[in-house]
Amino acid sequence: MYSEYKDALSFTYDELIEYLLAKGEKAYRAKQIYEWMHKKLAVSWDEMTNISKLMREELAKDYSVFPLKIVDKLVSEIDGTAKYLMGTSDGGIIESVAMTYSYGMSVCISSQIGCRMGCKFCASTLAGLERSLTASEMLAQIYLIQKDMGRRVDNIVVMGIGEPFDNYNELIKFLHMISDERGLNISQRSITVSTCGLVDKMYDFSNEHMAVTLAVSLHAPNDEIRKTIMPVANRYSIDEIIKACHYYVNTTGRRVTFEYSMINGVNDSGECAEQLVSILRGLLCHVNLIPLNDVEERSHTRTSEQGIHYFQKYLEKNRINVTIRKGMGADIDAACGQLRRKYIKQGKALSDNLS
């Protein structure tokens, strides 16, 4: 319920009408305020110049407008990738990344502060989960980046810190609001959500009938290997994941993406490639091979370029759609959770930046 919200960005359109009517305001004010927040990307009541000063003061007593601030920004000298550290109003730190390609700007957002999935090669999960983000904190990452970069966000990937399906309801609310024509109106077709494979939620997500692409972090062709790198594999088998993927494809008509991070000596053998082909046979899918990003605290290293190339060729020969992910922002720790981790380890006084 909206009485629990901390910021006005959290209101759905209908809730905003309800709230304003309860305050004795006219319903058309909701349209104006919603537009200020979600189209003109205002971060304070004071910017809303067609709302009277008195009314703005009244609203400010109940809610702040915006839940996030940019704390730091690093820009890659190699490819212009911009990495943002953003601070929440309760002192949490998350990361968001803006990548510019020939076809537009893609933004990678976080869904939680920290993560509790425990993948052995990932920096985001090292200190566990602090809390999930609200839908408004997911929206705010995109709004801040669009304003800061001075150009429209074309694509969104929910692949930053956190497990989006461990924050399911806020994720779905966010997806509806970001693709709403009363807001930024970003096409669902341009959005991808990545999960480590929470099977129950994969079914729920399919049943939402959204045109959002589902990406699944597979990273292994069998449960035995997967269990050594992803604790979630003890909860759900690959067999169950693949069945849920078939369900997604059948209900949405959309292709599923598999992420497969190439880890030296762990999941990159010829036998692994063979097994992968056999479990994916007959499924409308695409495999994205990711050269592992080395993480200081983690022992795993990436497969050689030649090894990745060999793996790719084998999948191609067996008519599996496959690409190798282009590394972006290599000089600014652009991979999952690495910058946040450094920032926190250095013990920067976050409150200084957030005041």
Binding-site ranges for ligand SAH (CB under 6 A) = 117, 119, 121-122, 159, 163, 194-196, 217, 259, 261, 290, 292-293, 295, 335-336
7 or 170: whose CB is closer to ligand SAH?
A: 170
Smallest distance from the beta carbon of 328 to ligand SAH, in angstroms?
Answer: 12
Spot the catalytic one: 57, 58, 95, 296.
95
Catalytic site includes residue 95: yes
Smallest distance from the beta carbon of 15 to ligand SAH, in angstroms?
Answer: 28
**SS3 for 86-129, per residue?**
EEECCCCEEEEEEEEECCEEEEECCCEEECCCCCCCCCCCCCCE
31 or 298: whose CB is closer to ligand SAH?
A: 298
55 or 249: whose CB is closer to ligand SAH?
A: 249
253: left (phi over 0), alpha (psi -120 to 50) or beta: left
Smallest distance from the beta carbon of 290 to ligand SAH, in angstroms?
Answer: 5
As given in the structure block, the two tokens for residue 260 are: 């497969």
Interatomic CA distance for residues 8 and 56, integer angstroms: 12
Interatomic CA distance for residues 158 and 96, integer angstroms: 10
Smallest distance from the beta carbon of 277 to ligand SAH, in angstroms?
Answer: 20
Q: Which residues pair with 190 in a beta bridge?
A: none
CA quadruple 127, 68, 40, 16: dihedral sign: positive
Smallest distance from the beta carbon of 179 to ligand SAH, in angstroms?
Answer: 20
Q: Measuring CA to CA, which residue among 131, 145, 55, 57 is closest to residue 89?
A: 131
Catalytic site includes residue 274: no
56 or 286: whose CB is closer to ligand SAH?
A: 286
134 or 261: whose CB is closer to ligand SAH?
A: 261
Spot the catalytic one: 108, 245, 272, 336.
336
Interatomic CA distance for residues 46 and 23, integer angstroms: 19
As given in the structure block, the two tokens for residue 350 are: 């976050």
Active site residues: 95, 336
